[in-house]
Amino acid sequence: MILVVFLKIGLALPSMKIVRLLEAQYNIKISNGEVYKILEQVADAFGSYYKILEQKIREARIKHIDETSARINGKNHWLWIFITKEIAFYAIRKNRSSNVPIKILKNQKDKIIVSDRFSAYNVLEKVSGCSLQVCWSHLLRSTKDLAEHYDEAKYVHKRFKNIYKKSTSFNHMANENQIRKLYNLTDLIAERKYKHTEVKKFIKSVCINHRQDLFRFVINKEIESTNNRAERGIRPYVIIRKISNGHRSKKGVDVMERLLSVIETLKLQGKNPLKEMLSIIQASEY
């Protein structure tokens, strides 16, 4: 059963391929429907461990958050990922509002969240008490896109590239004077006059609204300058989504949340998913 789970969720194999593999390799004959029954039973066994992962991600001092679309019975939903260096927690919800991370994370005072500039995280910051670190990869992609449409944004893109290069050169050990210079360079971009509305909106968002969220990483080696960790964490689900074309029921959603969280967490920890999943289930039986 653990092997079936790993093949389906860990390796994203279609159910019919799993059926054929089991028969060819082990002479075990099961149906496509039995594959899903196995997933449900194993997911149920991981119920308490999934709650433990949720608590651990809540307590983590630094974490990354991102979201991507999901489909349930043909209707739009969202998969959220909350991830650290050792824990990956997935949750599928109906909406993309700030209520989702607020309910999952609760009080986040003195904790850091790395994310893009999606408005939900601004609300999360106010309600939970967390601090944000803006993803510089996302920021630079935005400036590059603006530069392709507006000539005046070429200056913005060039300046932000230089600022990011300088900020990373400090290797998370910048002093107060170096940090002050980074902010001064950012302020120079904000002080410049721009004609186009899209460019003005971007400058206001980054240089004013998120000014305090740009350089937290320059003095703390535990804080990453990008949200690439969360983007990598979402990829396994994206692959599964392409193969399965979405979920058919709430039960299927519960199965995906739990099993993906367990397997990806074990991968992050460098553990053998097959052996460790069995150990977790055996330990929970006592």
Question: pLDDT tens-digit profile of 186-206?
Answer: 999 999 999 999 999 999 999
State yes or no: pLDDT of 120 exceeds 50.
yes
pLDDT digits (tens, 9 = 90+) for 204-254: 999 999 999 999 999 999 999 999 999 999 999 999 998 887 777 888 899
Q: What is the largest CA-CA distance in the chain?
A: 72
For the chain, domain boundaries: 136-219
How many angstroms separate the first and last alpha carbons of the chain?
20
The residue type of 101 is P
Which one-letter DSSP state was computed for residue 247?
A: B
Contact 182, 166 (CB under 8 A): yes
- The DSSP symbol for 151 reads T
Rg (CA), the chain: 22
Neighbours of 244 (CB within 10 A): 16
CB-based contacts of 14: which residues, under 8 Å, 6+ apart? 243
Q: Alpha-carbon distance 265 to 274, whole Å?
A: 13
* pLDDT confidence of residue 74: 82
The bridge status of strand 88-93 relative to strand 75-83 is: antiparallel
Q: Examine the pLDDT at 286 and tell me if it is beyond 50.
A: no
